[in-house]
Amino acid sequence: MNRTSTVVRMHLRKKLNWLLVPVAVLLSSFIINVLIGAFTDDPIYTGGLSSIFVYMMVMGIITFAQTFPFALGMGIRRLDYYRGTFATGLLTVLVFAVFLFLMSMTEGKWTNYWGVRLHFFELPYWSDGPIINRLWIPFVLLLNMFAAGILIGTYYRRFNKTGLLIGALAIVLLGTIASFVIGLNDYWTNIFNWLQDQTMTGLALWTLPITLLFSAVSYLLLRRCT
């Protein structure tokens, strides 16, 4: 009996939460934009697309907080829980990436920006480069957001409110020190130059090692979660 697949089945009992809710949130924002587009002559560029990325992180946090205590109580190994949860996340992210790809193609290639000059799924810079970018870039970014959500969830479970507060303070402190050091050495120009040189492809690739790091750290935290 494979208990990792049991965990996947456990999550997929609530397909609605995994798939329909984020798509519904995204589409409601989209429809409002289409309506606005119908009444204005100017082209609209909107960041409504970001909702699904934010949702994916929230999904990671909530899923963990809701299902981990239950799974542990039901005698599921932490490793099985981890694998099953990431597998479900991967599956969801894949579905969303395909969805975003199709919507982007529909918007830019197959309809003329929905006939209302709305740029919702196909945006400058974001959709630059070969067509396949519109599939894998959302995929790796969504995955990164999900991993970040799981990391926050495991960190909170392991270290509680005080831990979360200390962690947040530490990040703020490190950020302040870092920006001070950067400012002191006049590195800001270099950093912005580097960022300007990056394409969407480059940035998306940079998330991969970060996603890997998030996943590894959350697994190490999970192994000590009670």
Partner 1 sequence: MTHVVEVNGLTKAYGDVKAVNNVTFKLEADKIYGLLGSNGAGKTTIMHMLTAQQFETSGTLRVFGEHPYENNHVLQQVCFIKESQKYPDNYNVRDVLEIAADLYPNWNREFAMSLVEDFQLPLKRNMKKLSRGMLSSVGILIGLASRAPLTIFDEPYLGLDAEKRQLFYDRLLEDYAEHPRTILLSTHLIDEVGTMLEHVLLINRGQLLLDEETDSLRGRAFSVSGPAVAVERFIAGRTVIDRQQLGGLVTASILNNPGSSSGQSEAESIGLAVAPVSLQQLTVYYTRLQNRDTSSNKGAK
DSSP of 165-215: HHHHHHHHHHHHHHHHHHHHTT-HHHHHHHHHH--HHHHHHHHHHHHHHHH
> Least CB distance from residue 63 to partner 1, whole Å?
9
Distance CA 27, CA 92 (A): 17
Q: Sketch the per residue contact string, 160 through 189, with partner 1: x for CB under 8 A, - otherwise.
A: ------------------------------
Answer yes or no whether residue 109 interacts with partner 1 by CB under 8 A: no
Answer yes or no whether residue 221 interacts with partner 1 by CB under 8 A: no
Q: Indicate which single residue of 1, 39, 41, 125 sits in contact with partner 1 (rule: CB under 8 A).
A: 1
| Cα–Cα distances in angstroms (integers) from residue 56 to residues 26, 110, 120, 150, 168, in the given order | 12, 28, 18, 10, 21
44: β partners: 118
Q: Indicate which single residue of 29, 30, 80, 104 sits in contact with partner 1 (rule: CB under 8 A).
A: 80
161: β partners: none
Answer yes or no whether residue 72 interacts with partner 1 by CB under 8 A: yes
Give the number of other CB atoms < 10 A from CB of residue 150.
28
Q: Indicate which single residue of 23, 27, 44, 78 sits in contact with partner 1 (rule: CB under 8 A).
A: 78
Whether residue 55 contacts residue 22, with contact meaning beta carbons closer than 8 Å, is answered with yes
Amino acid at 110: W
Total interface residues for partner 1 by CB under 8 A? 24
> Least CB distance from residue 72 to partner 1, whole Å?
6
> Least CB distance from residue 150 to partner 1, whole Å?
16
Q: C-alpha angle 19/20/26, rounded to 5°?
A: 100
> Least CB distance from residue 162 to partner 1, whole Å?
15
Answer yes or no whether residue 51 interacts with partner 1 by CB under 8 A: no
Q: Which is nearer to partner 1, 185 or 226 (CB)?
A: 226
Answer yes or no whether residue 76 interacts with partner 1 by CB under 8 A: yes
Answer yes or no whether residue 117 interacts with partner 1 by CB under 8 A: no
Answer yes or no whether residue 15 interacts with partner 1 by CB under 8 A: no
Distance CA 150, CA 148 (A): 5
Q: Indicate which single residue of 162, 189, 193, 226 sits in contact with partner 1 (rule: CB under 8 A).
A: 226
